[in-house]
Amino acid sequence: MERDKRRTPPLTDLLLRGLRIGASTIALVELLRSDWIGGGLASLAWLVFVQV
């Protein structure tokens, strides 16, 4: 029986999860501060990290 191979190493998964959490937090904070450009860019970064 073959073991299922992960598509990405565990460290990469951890780093991507951290980037997703960081980008979403920054987006929320920037939008609450009414910094629309910063919030929009952070939201776009979050969207990119979610797609990966």
> Which pLDDT value is given to residue 2?
59
How many residues can be counted in the chain? 52
pTM over 0.75: no
pLDDT tens by residue, 1-52: 556 666 768 899 999 999 999 999 999 999 999 999 999 999 999 999 899 8
**H helix and E strand count, the chain:** 2, 0
Helices 36-51 and 10-32 cross at an angle (nearest 10°) of 160
Q: How far apart are CA 48 and CA 37, in angstroms?
A: 17
Note the pLDDT of residue 40: 94
Q: Report the distance separating Cα 32 and Cα 15, nearest Å.
A: 26
